[in-house]
Structure 1
Amino acid sequence: MTEAHADLRPLISFIVVEGDAAPGALDATLESLAAQLSSDWEVLVVGAAEGPASDDPRVRSLWSEPGATAIASMNLGLRAATGSFVALVRPGDSLRDDAVVRIAAALASCPDADFLYSDEHVRVGDDTTTTEFTKPEWSPERLLGQPYALRLAVVSRSLADRIGGFEERFEQAAPQDFVLRATEQAGRIVHVPHAVYRVAGGGRSLSDTTDPVGWEFGRQSVQAALDRRGIAASAVLGPLPGTFGVHRHPGDPRHVSIVIPTRGTSGTVFGSERVFVLEAVRSVLAAQTIHHLEVVIVHDLDTPGPVLDALVGLSPDAVRLVPFDGPFNFSRKCNVGFLASHGEIVVFLNDDTELITPDAIDRLIAPLREPDVGMTGAKLRYEDGSLQHAGHRYNDNEFTHAFLTAADDDRGFGALQVNREVSGLTAACVALRRDVFEEVGGFFEGLPINFNDVDLSLKLRSVGYRLLWMSGVEFSHFESKSRAPEFSRNEVEILLARWVAFGRDPYTPVV
């Protein structure tokens, strides 16, 4: 434990750069600090003119050199700070009166923490009222796509010094870059689950980079983070201002197996009758750019012969038929398909799916080059285009799909627009490395119908793997939107007997 972390009542230095703040904005910020229930803080107001008149010795004024940039002013404040932790606050923004108390409590519980971030009050879209942004626990993939931990970010002074402060080259995105670099080197990152930060006038605060220039600097900061981490990927502007996409490069060709359990059923989709598995395989083969691909069809014995013949006819070299004899057991069928496959990467795919994104398989498997990524999953849509899957949500011993049936404009604080860590992924479309699937023992066959993907997800997380939901990888999933999920109490009891009780979901606490 460092000396700073041993302090039971750490002093927090808040840095406020006046810049072009509106009249009275700074006063509002200082008033919120003066109202703190704890006195363990100081504020450094950095400006080019006279600082605020204050009798409080904890309020110090610093004067920037004429023509100094905002980044230079931030670094001036950082150098002058005497606290063991520092935080940047925009003039006009305010802190709830228990902010310092909450931060101190978090540090008391986690004395080795050197980066903390809180929830906040924000305005989303065109709404004129503020809403509490209940943030996920530490989610590094989401941070690349959305700087959700920007406010309130509290960083140990030693960590801030170690990373060298704020960098001029990123201009408006310098705070975003600072957070990315700090979290890369932090020993422990802690989420303070209280909305202790409020933006002036209910403005948007999810990012400082929503204008075109700042957005581009934000993209550059994400690209720099990818390069530092050795991730071969391109950062691109995201679908919402201030968000970013991470397009990982395919890399060297890999042998991929797609395992599809089926019994060759038919149904009506988009007004036409189809054999589901035929169209699922056709869509994958038509779009695939993978050189070494096999499609393993695990079929019940009563699957119609013409369907099997048609499947082989789609690609005699790629399609392999594996018969399955026995009562329905989705877990066992997937395990049988896995054992019959040869790929370094295995994709499990339901037969009632159809690829939407042309390079979906490439993009789905690309993160699996990173050793700590255990499984990836896609954005699945119902026939009408509404959302069927955006990751699992495990909350209060309930197991659901997060954002089920949401429309595209239901943004969930950006959660539907960026890649992110999730608690679990549906086996309707997931990808894993072969050795990872073997490491956790595959699907648990004691859950033949429901919750087998929940169990697999929990096994992967229990040994330290991250599960990534890929927002830009899309499939249609023709599961009936109106069909209520049916499961027995016995299945729930089996699952809960294997795992401890579930409280607050770490990645999707509120939907």
Structure 2
Amino acid sequence: MTAVDVFISPGSDEDEERTLAAFGLVRREQDRACVTPWREAVVRPEASHVLLLRAGDKVESGALEALSCFAQAFEAQVTTMNARTPFGVIHSPRWLPLLLEQLPYGGRAVLIEGGYAAKKLPQLEDSMSDWEILLRVTSEAERIVHCPVTAVVQATTTSMAAQADRPKLTRMFRAAQGRSAESVVLSSAGMPLVRHRDDASEHVSIIVPTAFASRRVDEATEVLVERLLRALVRTVEHDRWEVVLVVDETTADSAVTPCREILGNRLRVVRTSGPFNFSVAVNEGARQAAGDVLLLLNDDVEPITSGWMNNLLGTLARPEVVVVGARLLFEDDTIQHMGVVCPPGELPMHPRIFEVDDPGHPQAQADVPYLAVTGACLMCTAADFRAVGGFNEDLPLNFNDIDFCLKAGTDGRAVICVNSVRMRHRESSTRRPQITSEEIASLLPWQHSMMRDPHIEYRHW
């Protein structure tokens, strides 16, 4: 049997009464609630778990039983949950410390195992932001799980620390988990982002397979790869980089000439034979690339602002990261890619595709872990690319990027979508890929890995 102590941070008399009254309607005989500063709270010996609430918050019916039994079944020290806020229900992903170190991505309520709570409660001040409370409660926990139920109705939104305090708290959290934080910078939305300082000596090879397709852009018909190369010249601030242009063996030199005029000696041309196979093109480009770091770019992608390459490099240099990608937008500023969700038993999908991009939203600037990112913009080290055997050439069109990311992440390092990097992707929003049975079968060996996708509980958000 489980028993829960609910500790309510003091607030107004009205808010305290509201929380206690709601608790009285849903409590079990063995549960207890009291209003007390968290650092002064005393956990009953018979309490298996502790739930922290702010005055005004309400526990949903059946939540105490569901949460405590779930936590007990998984032997969790901390259990996170979904929450209803004044702006709607927050469907949180599974436990993601690399995301929590940037922002409180879910609700503020957490269920804490009784013994662990007795250790942590004296460290908590009611005046701390909800985010700081979450960081301190989870920083030393060895077993954290997410229970995908809406368990608490929050009277207010989850609070963030003052901007000036955010880098310090991120460093504190990472240090407690034994992870470094060489440099923490604030995004345009005020989110703390962990970056390792750009190594100017790194040589980046940008691999661009192309068939020199043309499209009408800004009232003129342009060759898309030429537009991409001009954008690279305009926006790349890193010193050492080259473009490896992968073309068919029958491509005329006249098609390549404008590219040479744009890039000069930064251009390397690689020719492949046979029917188009994206994996073959990428692998051959990587084989002939001179760079320490490889960046795959579709020829219909275009960087929007400068600074993006250093941002990707600074993220990739983190020891816990193996692959990085970017947020890609259609021409109408709707989302094309912000990571790939890989639900077991289903096809990989792009969350929030076709929704309007909101750069001011905190997660729209965050570094979000996924199992995979699209090969339209994918960066990794050349050493890691070779270590997993590159792209699977049996997958000429679809799922080769998914397969690569899943291979790269088998050692526990993260695949990150760097949302503060935005690129235009002129892929047609009406295009529907033709997926073969062989491509679907290629996902079967990865079903166990897909079970750990942190986003599958909210894949339709």
Same structural fold, with TM-score higher than 0.5 when normalized by the shorter chain: yes
Q: Which residue of 1 aligns with 2:354?
A: 405
Q: Which amino acid aligns with 1:482?
A: T
Are 2:96 and 2:454, in contact at CA under 8 Å, matched by a contact in 1? Answer: no
Q: Compared with structure 1, are the counterparts of its residues 231 and 333 closer, same or farther at alpha carbon in structure 2 (3 Å cutoff)?
A: same
SS in structure 1 at match of 2:225: helix
SS in structure 2 at match of 1:31: helix
Q: Compared with structure 1, are the counterparts of its residues 165 and 446 closer, same or farther at alpha carbon in structure 2 (3 Å cutoff)?
A: farther
Are 2:328 and 2:425, in contact at CA under 8 Å, matched by a contact in 1? Answer: yes
SS in structure 1 at match of 2:147: strand
Q: Tell me how far apart the structure 2 counterparts of residues 362 and 385 of structure 1 sit (CA, whole Å).
A: 23
Q: Does 1:180 align with 2:135?
A: yes
Q: Which of 176, 191, 200 matches 1:244?
A: 191
Are 1:219 and 1:237, in contact at CA under 8 Å, matched by a contact in 2? Answer: no
How far apart are residue 330 of structure 1 and its match?
0.4
Q: Which of 109, 113, 125 matches 2:73?
A: 109
Q: Which residue of 2 aligns with 1:494?
A: 442
SS in structure 1 at match of 2:403: helix
Q: Which residue of 1 aligns with 2:91?
A: 134
How far apart are residue 233 of structure 1 and its match?
2.8
How far apart are residue 214 of structure 1 and its match?
4.4
TM-score using structure 2 length? 0.89
Q: Does 1:16 align with 2:8?
A: yes
How far apart are residue 14 of structure 1 and its match?
2.1
Q: Which residue of 2 aligns with 1:91?
A: 55
Q: Which residue of 2 aligns with 1:284?
A: 232
Q: Tell me how far apart the structure 2 counterparts of residues 92 and 104 of structure 1 sit (CA, whole Å).
A: 22
Q: Which of 448, 463, 467 matches 2:396?
A: 448
How far apart are residue 416 of structure 1 and its match?
3.3
Q: Which of 172, 176, 183 matches 1:233?
A: 183
Q: Which of 150, 153, 173 matches 1:195?
A: 150
Q: Compared with structure 1, are the counterparts of its residues 123 and 439 closer, same or farther at alpha carbon in structure 2 (3 Å cutoff)?
A: farther
Q: Tell me how far apart the structure 1 counterparts of residues 171 and 411 of structure 2 sit (CA, whole Å).
A: 29
How does 1:197-216 map onto structure 2 within 5 Å? 197-200=152-155, 203=156, 205=157, 207-209=158-160, 214=162, 216=164
Q: Which amino acid aligns with 1:270?
A: D
Q: Compared with structure 1, are the counterparts of its residues 501 and 233 closer, same or farther at alpha carbon in structure 2 (3 Å cutoff)?
A: closer
SS in structure 2 at match of 1:35: helix
Give the root-mean-square deviation of aligned CA atoms. Answer: 2.8
Gaps of 5+ in 2: none
Q: Which amino acid aligns with 1:118?
A: M
Q: Compared with structure 1, are the counterparts of its residues 245 and 303 closer, same or farther at alpha carbon in structure 2 (3 Å cutoff)?
A: farther
Gaps of 5+ in 1: 1-8, 47-72, 125-130
Q: Which residue of 2 aligns with 1:54?
A: none
Q: Tell me how far apart the structure 1 counterparts of residues 51 and 167 of structure 2 sit (CA, whole Å).
A: 23
Q: Which residue of 2 aligns with 1:327?
A: 275
For 1:151-209, what per-residue CA distance to the aligned partner results, in whole angstroms no more than 9, with x for missing partners?
221233554565674466x9442x42232233332111100110001123xx4x2x223
Matched residue pairs, number?
Answer: 454
Q: Which amino acid aligns with 1:35?
A: L
Q: Compared with structure 1, are the counterparts of its residues 501 and 429 closer, same or farther at alpha carbon in structure 2 (3 Å cutoff)?
A: closer
For 1:248-304, what per-residue CA distance to the aligned partner results, in whole angstroms no more than 9, with x for missing partners?
253332222111111222221122221211221221232222222122111112333
Q: Does 1:147 align with 2:104?
A: yes
Are 2:340 and 2:370, in contact at CA under 8 Å, matched by a contact in 1? Answer: yes
Q: Does 1:29 align with 2:30?
A: no
Q: Which 4+ runs in 1 deviate beyond 6 A?
A: none
Q: Tell me how far apart the structure 2 counterparts of residues 230 and 498 of structure 1 sit (CA, whole Å).
A: 31
Are 2:198 and 2:310, in contact at CA under 8 Å, matched by a contact in 1? Answer: no
Q: Which of 200, 203, 211 matches 1:263?
A: 211
How far apart are residue 420 of structure 1 and its match?
1.1
Q: Compared with structure 1, are the counterparts of its residues 81 and 317 closer, same or farther at alpha carbon in structure 2 (3 Å cutoff)?
A: farther
Q: Which amino acid aligns with 1:495?
A: L
